[in-house]
A and B are shown apart, each in its own frame.
Chain A
Amino acid sequence: MTSPVKSVEVADVVRDVVEKLAPDEMPAVNALAALKPAVAARRLERARTARDPLGFGLGDLLVTITPVVWITVEHFAGRLGDTAAEKIADRLRKLFRRKAIPRRVALTPEQMAELREKVLETGARQGLTPEQCAQIADAIIARLALGDAE
């Protein structure tokens, strides 16, 4: 376990991953970055399509990768630095801080499997194929392992 010398934000991780997989979707990442990660994730999961008056009225699936990546990364953020020997004080501190991700973290096989599972689940709702989900999962794992030095 590397010591969290410098932790990064959820947005940073997502940005790197999306930049590699679907650079067109950068505006979506920037937009979500302005919100709190947990809030953004929650709203993405609950996205509704309300009809406003004076809207244009179109609907189509366009931004597919970003929501999956964001939800997944946010879900795991804060848990990745966990060890059994974590002090109670540190745990409490985490509650009041933005979730941070260690700069570089190698995932255990269990964590990897859990991550792939999460990606599959979220991606299916977005209409992605299992192959696409696998690709996304790999990219996330790689980014987490290698950090932003790419």
Chain B
Amino acid sequence: MLSRVDERVLGPGTTVRFALLLVLFVVASVAFTSDFAGRTTESLDWACRLAAGWDPDAGDLAALTGGPTQQAHAFQACLDEYAPRPAWWLPLLGPVVLAGVAAIVFFAIGARKSRRVVPLAEVEPADSDVYEILRDLVATAGLDQAPAFVVDPIATSTKGAVAFGRDRKPVVRLDVGLLVQRKKDPGGFRVVVLHELAHVHNRDITLTYATVALWRTFLALALLPDTAWLVLQLLFGPSSPLSSSYLPGLVRGVVLAVVMVLLVLLARADVLRTREVYADLTALRWGADRRGWETTDRSSGGAFAELWRTHPRWDLRRSSLDDPAPLFGVRALPMFLTGAGAALINNAAFQYLKQYRIHDGWQHQVITLVAAALVTGVAGIALWRAVVHARLTGISGPTGVRAGMWLGLGLVAGELVAGQHVDHDWVPARWWAMVVLVAAGVAFTWWIAQNARLWAGTWRGRTLRAPMLLALLAGGVVLSSWFVWWLGGGGPLLVVGSLLNTDDLIDEFQRGLPGAGTGRVSRIVLSTVPLLATLHHVPLVLVAVALTWVVPLLAWTIRPGLLRWVHEAVPDVPEPPALPPPALPLPALRRVVLPGLIAGLAATVAPFVERDLDELAYIATTFVAAAAAALLAALVAPSTHRLATTLAGAQIAALTTIACGALIRSWSVLEPMITPGLVAAAGIAVAVAAVRALAHRLGRLRPAATAPRRARVRQRRTAIAVLTISALGVAGAEIAGAATSDHVPEFVQKTTSTATPSAATTRMQVTAWNRVGGRTLLDHLMSATTCDAASAAATDAAAFLRVPDHRLVPLWQTVVTRSGRARTTCTDNVETGLAWARQAAAAATALRTGLDVVARGGTPDTTVPEPAERLNLAHWAGRGARNVLINYGMAATNLFDYIDRVQGQVETPTLARHCAEVTRAARDGQGFFRVDDPWMQDRWDSFVEAAGTAGAHCMRAIMDLDEQALQVALQEIQAQHRAADCLRSRLHGSAEGSC
């Protein structure tokens, strides 16, 4: 059994925990500043929402799929005008102010502590021996600059000391009682002074007081004013029908403040207690007498009270002197607090990103690196220390699972309190899906612990810092990628719900690629598209996946030999260290790699057999094959260092299958499934490894100890180099591909039918619509008498939010269509343009009346006013009827010319375009002026209707790949073409007879 482990192995890891608190203050102050700025101006955010169709009673998911998202541009324009957000740099001033004031507070604290002290020279005469003693102690501590020693004259009943000031100008304040007791208890004097000098040496002072200063400033400038405002709003805020929608947010804000206070106090106390033990151990190492810690423990209160104290219990301090095992443990509270803190940091950061509409994946990735680095630092260092300590003392160390569970729970708690995925609900609709977050935490820490175990058994350097740094850097990238995925799309998808339904997706898909797959396969594939799309938002996802298996695998490249770092950790073991044999020898590399290769090759059968299928089916087949290969490789992976070997095997299998599939057909075809395939393989590997590990544990099986074989290191290194390059190469190719490819088309949400809002809500919506510019717009339309005015009004109408009452929507669309026609015809023919403007005005008047009725609570008249006047034939023809017929003829001619040109070998996209043109030309005739010739009117109406229907049938037939229906539609278009020609010649005055 090796003797006491040096507590400084791998660094204490408490600086990172301080750093997390500091980062939390800084980032949260951005959010608070933005809130403050927003509250200073009246925000009509609620009015824009209502006008866009928001139903306060319908919950968050309906709000996300409803009006504001469907009319995103118009909605944003409304917000920009009526709920402007502060300049982008204004919230960033918050941290600047915070830091500035905190600096002042920092120096003020030091000044205040210095005020009631007396320099040592005034207390002890110059010939006293205390000066020599202090010089000795400072020299023992190895400090190049002695701290200023001062005395607290009032501390007559205590015999301790305090260190304060700055790291560079430290001050140690001795209690006068300590000086008085010095002669009686010189050992005690040394202990106390050495302890304080240890704080100076360990650089605790600046960090501690900086945290105190920053916290107090944050509390005073941000947290308390904000909470006061929220409470005032809750108690005395104006009550409105919308109050219940805003209540969860207000309450959550107050709860968040309370939680933040608790979090900071607990975390700070915990870190300070740890620093106390470290100072004790440092003092002990410098020769302090153990008896100085023998004291009657006067602290009372149970374990709960202890959580808040800055000094640990005396019995704990004493036992730590002998056995620093507690300093190497991985405890639940720090993990939970770290998770919660990270969630709050991410929440504040993403609030800013959302407010300023920064959706770029790379920026998200960089920002989440901050929180990810902090979590990885805290959890990673703690786990590595625990694993290393266990290894040196011969016990089995932590698996990381418990730590991950607490970390995950902390993340969940932080997100719930901060309201990450909610708007006006209390909790997200599918809050139970947040268990995924806990699972992610467990997987993360399990991976870190596995790495630690792996590298601690193989690394031969003097210290373990290098592999720890590598593993933690990789872990940071992995965690940051997870955060980007979870916060940028994956989380809302799971926790709130999908914003798209499958039918809409299929329609949209076929619009882009008419006829590309309509079977069951397409349905299944397309239903997963939302989830897959979220993966594409994470730029470094494949790099992260590659790191998860490459970094552990690098441990196989080390030539087996003496572990020199053991000597550093346990200083009193003479060189060369008698190292205990590795508890878990590495399995042979081929045992790790070969199952993956074989499974991958075997699974290639499927894409090979199906290589002639259409693209979508081929992609799906390859995906399933890769997943199956990963599953197979995961099931047969070796059980020692299970997670690492399973991940490696599964990824190798998936990569092999994908590579072969790409060879069979082509890389560009398979490109959409590469990221999902590799991520799925990683997920399968983690799940299988977890199940197998659980089975082992329940069955109390020991991992099968493979007999250590002679390692052929050079071969290993070559193999691993090849694997690393291929993994990172694939990742790089995907990143490059994403950068150059077209922007992924945004899926426009269709009007998914939601429940009709209540009458009261509709009234609110209509009033809001009027308020945010609707009324003004209708005014402009009704009073447009010149072409310029009409065109301007038309442009505004086209860009504006549609009327929220669905009964009045047809009337609104009429207004938009007519004013649009006014704008387009104004350029050629002012008279016609103004005529259309008059028609638009008539419709607008009807709309205005309807809106007023709704606002009063009645039922509106939704009939669209037909153009009252009837024009004579020549006039009517000149007003645009002739143009409609001409355009229709041209579109039909183009269509049939195209078909003739390609001799029947049509390309569906081009054909669809022609049909769309035909449909559009026909639609231009709808709602047209009326002619005083009844026969012409009748013919016109039937022509317009039939032509429009024919065009729509053509489009449908193309999307459904229905040749028969296409033929029918084309014939109908042909017929209407003849009708249009006939009507045209009638307008010329020539040709009698029916058309």
Most buried by A among B116, B154, B199: B154
| A and B contact pairs by CB, cutoff 8 A, 26 listed | A24-B184, A27-B123, A27-B180, A28-B176, A30-B122, A31-B152, A31-B153, A34-B122, A34-B123, A40-B153, A43-B116, A44-B154, A47-B154, A53-B272, A54-B196, A54-B208, A54-B279, A55-B311, A56-B160, A58-B158, A58-B192, A58-B295, A60-B157, A60-B159, A63-B157, A63-B180
Interface hits, B250-294 → A, CB 8 Å: 272, 275-276, 279
Q: Are A44 and B311 in contact (CB under 8 A)?
A: no
Residues of B near A47 (CB, < 8 A) are 154-157
Inter-chain contacts of B154 with A (CB < 8 A)? 40, 43-44, 47
Among the 9-residue stretches B9-17, B49-57, B161-169, B497-505, the one with 4 or more Cβ atoms under 8 Å from chain A is B161-169
Residues in B neighbouring A95, C-beta threshold 8 A: none
Q: Which of B132-160 contact A (CB under 8 A)?
A: 151-160
Proximity string of chain A (84-96) to chain B, C-beta cutoff 8 Å, 1 when within and 0 when not: 0000000000000
A residues sitting closer than 8 Å to B (CB atoms) are: 24-25, 27-28, 30-35, 40, 43-44, 47, 49, 51-64, 66-67
Partner of A53, one of B116, B118, B208: B208
Q: Which residues of A contact B156 (CB under 8 A)?
A: 28, 44, 47, 62-64, 66-67
Contacts of B151 in A (CB 8 A): 27, 31
Number of interface residues of B (CB under 8 A): 44
Given contacts A28-B176, A58-B159, 9 further A-B contacts (CB under 8 A): A24-B180, A24-B183, A27-B176, A31-B118, A44-B156, A49-B158, A54-B162, A59-B158, A59-B160
CB distance from B624 to the nearest CB of A (A): 59
Interchain CA distance A43-B176 in the complex, whole Å: 14
- The interface residues of chain A, by DSSP majority, are classed as loop
Contact of B196 among A30, A31, A56, A64 (CB under 8 A): A56
Q: Which residues on B sit within 8 Å (CB–CB) of A66?
A: 156
For B130, the closest partner residue in chain A by CB is A27
- For the complex, give the distance between the alpha carbons of A61 and B298 in Å: 13
From A54, A58, A67, give the contact of B164 (CB < 8 A).
Answer: A54
A44 to B309, CA, bound (A): 26
Please name all residues of chain B whose beta carbon is closer than 8 Å to the beta carbon of A34 when the two chains form the complex.
118, 122-123, 153
Is B212 interfacial (CB 8 A cutoff)? Answer: yes
- In the complex, residue of chain A having the shortest beta-carbon distance to the beta carbon of B177: A62
**Chain A residue contacts of B212, Cβ below 8 A:** 53
A61 and B157 CA atoms in complex are apart in Å by 4
Smallest Cβ-Cβ distance to A39: which chain B residue:
B116
Kindly provide the distance from the CB of B299 to the nearest chain A CB, expressed in whole angstroms.
Answer: 9
A25 proximity list for chain B (CB < 8 A): 180
Q: With a CB–CB cut-off of 8 A, which chain B residues contact A62?
A: 156-159, 177, 180-181
Contacts of B192 in A (CB 8 A): 56, 58
Does the CB pair A28–B153 fall under 8 Å? yes
Which residues of A have CB within 8 Å of B159? 58, 60, 62
Once bound together, how far apart are the Cα atoms of A99 and B151, in whole Å?
24
Any chain A CB within 8 A of the CB of B195?
Answer: yes
Quick one: which of A25, A33, A54, A57 has the most chain B CB within 10 A?
A: A54
Which of A28, A44, A58 gathers most chain B CB within 10 Å? A58
Q: Who on chain B is nearest to A42 by CB?
A: B154
Q: Tell me which residues across on chain B come within 8 A of A54, comparing CB atoms.
A: 162-164, 196, 199, 204-205, 208, 272, 275, 279
Contacts of B295 in A (CB 8 A): 58, 60
Please name the 7 residue pairs, one residue from A and one from B, whose CB atoms are nearest each other, closest first. A31-B153, A56-B160, A63-B156, A62-B177, A27-B179, A34-B118, A55-B162
Contacts of B123 in A (CB 8 A): 27, 30-31, 34
Contacts of B43 in A (CB 8 A): none
What separation, in Å, do the CA atoms of A40 and B118 have in the docked complex?
Answer: 12
